[in-house]
A and B are shown apart, each in its own frame.
Chain A
Amino acid sequence: MNRDLRTLAKLATIIAVTFSCVILTYFITSSITGHQLATASGNMAFSRWQEKFQSLTINAGILSFLCSLAWFVLTRWIFKINSSRGIGKRTVWAALAALDLIGCVAIPQFYSSTLGIKINFIVIAVFIIFFAGIGYWLLTIFTTPKIFKYTPLGARFFLARK
């Protein structure tokens, strides 16, 4: 596969994985703790709670998507290597990871009150697992261009040639 095709495939993967994460987060959280949270949110009808929770999930998904896309765009087109020092860009990767992680906590915390729904630690945990863990960490490991392929923490475990 040539570099352009690989780029398209990776972009498609980022979109597909993020979309899958949104769907999985929505359904898993709904099935585990949805009814309980709907009740806690002033006996809200479950369908009404689902509607609001969907919006919450989509927003967290968008943030995760933006973080992993930003990392891909930076490493694929923006960062140029002309010397051999200071080229790992792990700080940038970690900053985006931190932003995503904070988003996974902050978005449910603050956006839920705007929406008028309650959340619990299960929501936070599932958001972190799917949007920070899978949607950013694992996704960047497998979609980072080869030139920075070992920059995401743990990438070597998955990608280094045996």
Chain B
Amino acid sequence: MSYYFISIGGSGAKVLEALTHLCVAGVMPTREEINILAIDPDSGNGNLERSGFALNSYIKFQKLSVGNDTPLFKTKMTLIKPFPWNPIEIDKTLDDLMDYQIYKGGSLGNLYEVLYTRRERNTKLNEGFRGHPSIGAAVLAKKYTLRDNKNTQWTDFIQKIKQDANNGGEIKIFFAGSVFGGTGASGMPTIARLLRNDLKDNSPDKNTILIGGAFILPYFSFPPPAEADKLFARSENFLTNTKAALKYYAQRENVFNAMYFVGDSHVTHFQKFSIGAATQKNDAHIVDFYAALAAIDFFNQPADYSQVYNCIFHNDSNKFSWSDFPALEEIENGDAKDFEFRKRFAKFARFVFAYVHFIKPVLRGLSSGDIKDYQYPWYVDYFSEADIVNTGAVKNFEDYAESFVTWLKQLETLQDREVALIKSAMFESRPARIVNAEEFYACDGVITNPKLTLHEVWYRLTEDLNLDSSINGFGKFLRRLYEACDA
């Protein structure tokens, strides 16, 4: 079985960020590796930068030895490089990309002039398709069909999928992107269709290679750009774009085995318009979280599942709580069993908070010689033998922990509405820290074990735990800390 996740555009990148955190927390159904591909013409956009940071940090420390009997770091992730794949060279316009000069004056050139306005043709596409899926569809289709060229990543990517399919494995490919913007709206149907056609020989029954997608519906708006005459994405067009996209999926041949439409009836208003690049840094949103859960649901479905039309609602429109999320299960040794999403996520959150609160300052203090190590039995027991602290794994994990807490804080900051996952009053981000230690044991809103205080975690950290002898180094310590956070 092989899993592929393809994020397209800024919305896709945000889903990728949520999926990364859920994978690190061990929420995926199996231990199968996920191959990650990101497609974004605006490769410098802030959303992608953030998800790329979390993902790259995880990729660097995911090989830590924590054992195979724990959900922690269960799902490994692999990047398909280049990450992201940018289908557009710098300072290119649509005319450049479509070789307009070659066709100019001919029937194809004339048709092209009819389909695209002069402004669409002459705008440099460094910041993506600027909310115009018609541009994106043309560019992506053209770039995709050039895959035989050695310079593109598609040859290797398709070969890898074909190889997996030929080995008799089941392939699951999941797309995530918006239906209302530029890149996602154009890339989702285009790439999926071309990919399906490409892989037709390897999956004649359509069930060997399954394609799913999370289609993000409009959930935010932003003020119109100051320069009204230029080509920009405009939030007032989102609904029109969405309507057209949905009509397309309803009427055209559907290449998707599973489609998850995720939206929000409350529109989140962003104060600032961003054309793209680093300034396009939208906070994490509960919609991303749901879309990542959709990916997990898709990866968990059996290969022969018939088309189902599930709908998920939440109870209180002004509040998101644990009961609003779908039930999850995992497969261990071939058997599927339910697990409580809340418990697993909360344990992981406590683990990260305990790390940033207790461990990180100590490791820094010890490195600088400010404090004495006798106060920290876990340090003496796990760290003093080898120079673990100065390995890249510690730094990468700390970077990841910071990005997790920032993401969680953003997720729970939803204009006028409450997201009651991990108690927001308990922690702060940037830098990540616990501000109310009293809330630690019930950080998920449920008092499972009132004795699970920070003191208790510290205590457990100094006690022995029977672990496989192959578990060692910093991974062993992280595993001990993770188990210490069990309610």
Contact = CB atoms under 8 A, between A and B. Distances in A.
Contacts, number: 56
Nearest to B464: A146
A146 B378 CA distance: 10
Contacts of B384: 160
Contact of A149 (B358, B361, B453, B462): B462
B371 A85 contact: yes
A147 B462 CA distance: 6
A82 B454 contact: yes
B362 interface: yes
Given A88-B374, A88-B375, A151-B374, A81 B380 contact: no
Contacts of A84: 357-359, 361-362, 365, 376
Interface in A96-150: 145-150
A156 B380 contact: yes
Contacts of A145: 459
Interface string A54-93: 0000000000000000000000000011111101101000
A160 B463 CA distance: 13
B375 A87 contact: yes
Contacts of A149: 377, 462
Contacts of B371: 85
A90 B374 CA distance: 9
A147 B374 contact: no
Contacts of B455: 80-82
A145 B456 CA distance: 13
Contacts of B380: 150, 156, 160
Instruction: Classify chain A: how many residues form its interface, as a range.
Output: 20 to 34
A147 B484 CA distance: 13
Contacts of A81: 454-455, 458-459
Contact of B361 (A85, A156, A160): A85
Given A81-B454, A88-B372, A88-B375, A3 B463 contact: yes
A85 B384 CA distance: 19
B458 A161 contact: no
B381 interface: yes
Contacts of A88: 372, 374-375
Contacts of B359: 84
Given A3-B463, A84-B361, A151 B454 contact: no
Contacts of B377: 146-150
A64 B49 CA distance: 62
B437 interface: yes
Which of A87, A151, A155 counts the most B-chain CB atoms under 10 A from its CB? A87
Contacts of A156: 374, 380
A145 B461 CA distance: 12
Contact of A161 (B362, B376, B381): B381
Contact of B375 (A146, A151, A160): A151
A145 B372 CA distance: 19
Contact of B374 (A82, A150, A161): A150
B363 to A, nearest CB: 10
A148 B454 CA distance: 15
Contacts of A80: 453, 455
Contacts of B358: 83-84
Contacts of A146: 377, 459, 462-463
Which of B362, B374, B453, B455 counts the most A-chain CB atoms under 10 A from its CB? B374
A155 B462 CA distance: 14
Contacts of A160: 380-381, 384
Contacts of B453: 80, 82
A147 B379 CA distance: 12
Interface string B355-395: 00111011001000001111111001100100000000000
Interface in B459-473: 459, 462-463
Nearest to A152: B374
A150 B374 CA distance: 5
A82 B437 contact: yes
A85 B357 CA distance: 11
A80 B454 CA distance: 9
Interface in A1-36: 3
Contacts of B437: 82
A87 B462 CA distance: 14
A88 B366 CA distance: 14
A155 B373 CA distance: 12
Given A81-B458, A84-B361, 12 more contacts: A81-B454, A81-B455, A84-B357, A84-B358, A84-B365, A88-B372, A146-B459, A148-B377, A150-B374, A151-B374, A156-B380, A160-B384
24 contacts: A3-B459, A80-B455, A81-B455, A82-B437, A82-B455, A83-B358, A84-B358, A84-B359, A84-B361, A84-B362, A84-B365, A84-B376, A85-B361, A87-B375, A146-B459, A146-B463, A147-B377, A147-B458, A147-B459, A147-B462, A148-B377, A149-B462, A150-B377, A156-B374
Q: Which 7 A-B pairs have the closest CB atoms?
A: A88-B375, A146-B462, A150-B374, A81-B458, A80-B455, A84-B362, A147-B459
